Amino acid sequence: MSMFDLTGKVAVVTGGSRGIGRSICERMAEQGAKVIVSSRKLPACEEVVAGIKAKGGEAAAVAASISDKAQLENLVAQARKIYGRIDIMVCNAASNPYFGPLTGLKDEVFAKIMQNNVLSNLWLANMVCPEMAERKDGAFIIVSSIGALTASLHIAAYNISKAADLSLVKSLAAEWGKHNIRVNAIAPGLIKTDFAKALWDNPTIRASAENKAALKRIGDPDDIGGVAVFLASKAGAFVTAQMIVADGGVIGTGGE
């Protein structure tokens, strides 16, 4: 059996209807996982589910907004109702409603970013980790960003939230490790998704990103989907409290 095999596992993925989240759903389904595809809009989730089922996979759609704790509680409850358990939780959904300098950032906007991108992940951890602990097995994955490691003149508030996610991962890993729950973060570089369109659709920003990357390209969603499969599978069984950077070599080479 492949060390990447996820047969018998149930994965819940927020922000699963497009981009990185969709890739994670599809790649995990290919490895045998039963996948709960979640995002705010049910039809978009159902489209991903249909694609997975067309390839012989198993998936179901549950709409939920990460900004609403009750909706996340319903997501977890529905996942258990449909598949009986949750083995893998992927916190991929995030929001970035502000593009500009910190000097123009309104308090309520910053609070919204921190709630959606950090607090919602803590909510989900506290909802799913106790169940994983009972089985002495589980994988909890937060999709962060290389922005957590760098400064920005445009998306600093988002970067701050993603840096907080890295700290959250370490503390959750320490808290739940004795129950064999692995908690890790993935830090993508610039990926060609709708979420990051304002960046890669800008010729100047895209050219700069490609120039800084050792691989001289920006990423595709599948460049991240495979990393999530690794962290969720037996192949990643001894990896916890870590951040895996998948940025084409921007951070590691210093952009030279």
Catalytic residue (choose from 123, 140, 158, 176): 158
Tokens of 195: 């979420």
CA distance 99 to 158: 9
Exposed e or buried b per residue across 160-170, where buried means at least 16 C-beta atoms within 10 angstroms of its C-beta: bbbbbbbebbb
CA–CA separation, 5 vs 237, rounded Å? 12
Question: Which residue has tokens 């409290």?
Answer: 241
Whether residue 98 lies in the annotated active site: no
Q: Are 59 and 29 in contact (CB under 8 A)?
A: yes
- Integer CA distances (angstroms), 37 to 104, 144, 184, in order: 35, 19, 20
Please give the order of strands across the beta sheet that includes 181-188: 58-61, 34-38, 10-14, 88-91, 138-143, 181-188, 243-246
d(CA 145, CA 65): 20
Q: Which helix (H) or strand (E) holds 88?
A: strand 88-91
How far apart CA 62 and CA 75 sit, in angstroms, is 6
Sequence-separated (6 or more) residues with CB below 8 Å from residue 256: none
Q: Which residues are catalytic?
A: 158
